[in-house]
Amino acid sequence: MPPTSEYKWARYLPVADDYKEPDLEDYNHVEPSTRVDRTKELTFLNGDSEITEISPEIGTEIRGVQLSALTPPELDELSLLLGRRALLVFRGQDFRDQTLEKQKQIASHFGRLHVHPISRHVSGSREHLVFYRNKENDVFRSGAAQNRVSTTLWHHDQSFECHPPSATILTGLTIPSKCGGDTEYVSMTAAYRKLSPSFREYLETLTALHSGVEQAEESLKKGGSGILRRTPIETVHPVVRVHPGTGEKAIFVNRAFTKHIIGLKVEESEAILSLLYDLIAKSTEFHARVRWEDATVIVWDNRITNHTVISDFSYDKGDIRHHFRLTATGERPIPVPGKLSPEALA
């Protein structure tokens, strides 16, 4: 790590302590966008804003709007746009200059804030998850990653939680000096729509087991972060979930945390999951790759996207890739009405 007195974003360097968190509780999530009048224009995109769609299926880039200045009704509107576009890229933001409390106040508008079970945070806030990568702390090219052809790993964040993350705010602090270290996203609603109607109908009747156990075990191994704040859990979620703000259906399985489809034989479960993971990874027509610029903040809806970091950057010039993340949790994933009994999700 650089000497803390010389580094501009020293207050966001990761700290690790050995505190424990209680198990997460069930709660009633209220989707902010349900408070928005759908017949009116979105007012948070003011006259000075510049809006660019990244691809037809996913992602909108916004300049000229400060996240830190939005009112609660405007954040409700943002939530509606987020549900529709899945990924919002805000440029020229002063979000990182705000106090930790102010940042958390904005993020918590979207749902109860999540504390990561194994990762480091910033001093003074357990909800501020930190990603700090430099030559000495290169998780992409050390340990198990050394034996992989690619470090691309499409995933939902923490899908094993009973209330998995929803709106997720990732703020760039220091980015590689030339290029590289982009983040790529895929629309899980578009992935769902690409499937044939009969296969979609079948998937809607399925549930899958999501597990945090392996991630917890990796953390405790030599080379892991050594942190484990909560007892790891496993949760059964529908394979197709309904977004509470838009009513759209999305595939909800991912290579990082989904273990198997309940009730199917091993080969059947593996065949279906492989098919879906291939669809997610290879269908670039519903991907969006975001290049980090200075003062960029990305907001994505974790319920209807998968994402991966692209670890193609070099540390040769002393480069650092440093971000912090605030993560709102959402509702318990909603199954397609009439397709699953309550017992199937117990």
Q: Which residues are at the interface with Fe ion (CB under 5 A)?
A: 157
Q: Looking at beta carbons only, is 187 or 269 nearer to Fe ion?
A: 187
Structure tokens at 133: 């990568």
* Shortest reach from residue 40's CB to Fe ion, in Å: 34
* Shortest reach from residue 324's CB to Fe ion, in Å: 13
Pairing of strands 121-122, 125-133: antiparallel
Distance between terminal CA atoms of the chain?
45
Q: Which amino acid is at 304?
A: I
Q: Looking at beta carbons only, is 215 or 269 nearer to Fe ion?
A: 215
Q: Looking at beta carbons only, is 71 or 152 nearer to Fe ion?
A: 152
Q: Looking at beta carbons only, is 172 or 335 nearer to Fe ion?
A: 172
Q: Looking at beta carbons only, is 157 or 319 nearer to Fe ion?
A: 157
Asked if residue 131 lies in contact with residue 321, where contact means CB atoms within 8 angstroms, the answer is: yes
Query: Which residues, including other chains, have CB under 8 Å from residue 342's CB and lie 6 or more apart?
Result: none
Q: How far is CA 305 from CA 90, 133, 152, 182, 288, in A?
A: 18, 24, 15, 16, 10
* Shortest reach from residue 327's CB to Fe ion, in Å: 9
* Shortest reach from residue 153's CB to Fe ion, in Å: 8
* Shortest reach from residue 266's CB to Fe ion, in Å: 27
Q: Looking at beta carbons only, is 203 or 321 nearer to Fe ion?
A: 321
* Shortest reach from residue 155's CB to Fe ion, in Å: 6
Q: Looking at beta carbons only, is 82 or 203 nearer to Fe ion?
A: 82
Residue closest to Fe ion when measured from CB atoms? 157
DSSP string over 185-225? EEEHHHHHHHS-HHHHHHHHT-EEEEESHHHHHHHHSTTS-
* Shortest reach from residue 157's CB to Fe ion, in Å: 4
R_g (Cα) of the chain, nearest Å = 20
Q: Looking at beta carbons only, is 157 or 204 nearer to Fe ion?
A: 157
Task: Give exposure, 283-312, as e/b (b: 16+ Cβ within 10 Å).
Answer: eeebbbebebeebbbbbbbbbbbbbbbbbe
* Shortest reach from residue 303's CB to Fe ion, in Å: 13
Sign of the alpha-carbon torsion through 5, 10, 13, 18: positive
* Spatial distance between the Cα atoms of 119 and 224, rounded to a whole number of angstroms: 10
Q: Which amino acid is at 91?
A: R
